[in-house]
Amino acid sequence: MAHLSILGTGNMGQAIAAVAGRGGHPVQLLGQSDAGTAITGDIVVLAVPYPAVADVIAQRGESLAGKVVVDITNPLNFETFDALVVPADSSAAAQIAAALPQSRVLKAFNTTFAGTLAAGTVGPIPTTVLIAGDDADAKSELAGVITSGGLKAVDAGALSRARELEALGFLQLTLAVGEKVSWTGGLGVVA
């Protein structure tokens, strides 16, 4: 059974920990004050804001070798809410994968609000986590954690699709901030 380590104890880190916990997976939830604690999980979720990822990689990068690393970020310019801060032809996930060549990097959870992970629903439909990545086994492991926790998981393709997932996350955040959707709604996946 996959063991998760989650770096970041904010809303998203806690919500993902709860999903894994519901599925019976051991979870290590590490905050900023746990910098000296070794990562024990096979799957490591970077549940920190995008601007904090570089520091996490600088501090923890070597210990992430051989692990599945899950990028959940939405790399928005939160001052303007009008652009992403990653190059248009790249993605946060692609940059993280480039910085962690010994890890299998996935993009996931950036299109699901914490409230929909907790509730298991986006309005009347089940919450679906979209996963992009280049390693089929890694995607399957993460999907197993998600489905064991009562949510749906959909393979959204190669890690290059992270660009579209980040665009979706960006759009969804602007809709929520603009009160066009609620934080328990958003863009849901209907099979």
What are the C-alpha distances in Å from 37 to residues 40, 47, 48, 60, 137? Answer: 9, 16, 17, 10, 27
Measured from the CB atom, is 103 or 116 closer to its own copies? 116
Measured from the CB atom, is 52 or 187 closer to its own copies? 187
Residue 62 near its own copies by CB under 8 A: no
CB of 160 to its own copies, least distance (A): 7
Query: Interface with its own copies by CB under 8 A: which range of 2-10, 16-24, 41-49, 123-131?
Result: 123-131
- Count of positions (residues) in the chain: 191
Q: Look at residue 33 and give its three-state secondary structure.
A: helix
Nearest residue to 35 via CA among 71, 12, 7, 5: 7
For the window 77-106, what string marks contact with its own copies as x by the rule CB under 8 A?
Answer: -----x----xxx-----------------
Measured from the CB atom, is 58 or 191 closer to its own copies? 191
CA 116 – CA 127 distance, rounded (Å): 6
CB atoms within 10 A of CB 59: 11
Using the rule CB under 8 A, which residue among 97, 122, 142, 159 binds its own copies? 122
Between strands 43-46 and 4-7, the pairing is: parallel
Measured from the CB atom, is 62 or 179 closer to its own copies? 179
Q: Look at residue 118 and give its three-state secondary structure.
A: helix
Query: Interface with its own copies by CB under 8 A: which range of 69-77, 92-100, 133-141, 148-156?
Result: 148-156
Residue 35 near its own copies by CB under 8 A: no
Give buried/exposed letters for 143-175 (b at 16+ CB in 10 A, else e). Answer: bbbbebbebbbeebbebebbbbbbebbbebbee
Using the rule CB under 8 A, which residue among 21, 49, 61, 157 binds its own copies? 157
List of residues contacting its own copies (CB under 8 A): 82, 87-89, 122-125, 130, 154-158, 160-161, 163-165, 167-168, 170-171, 174-175, 178, 180-182, 185-191
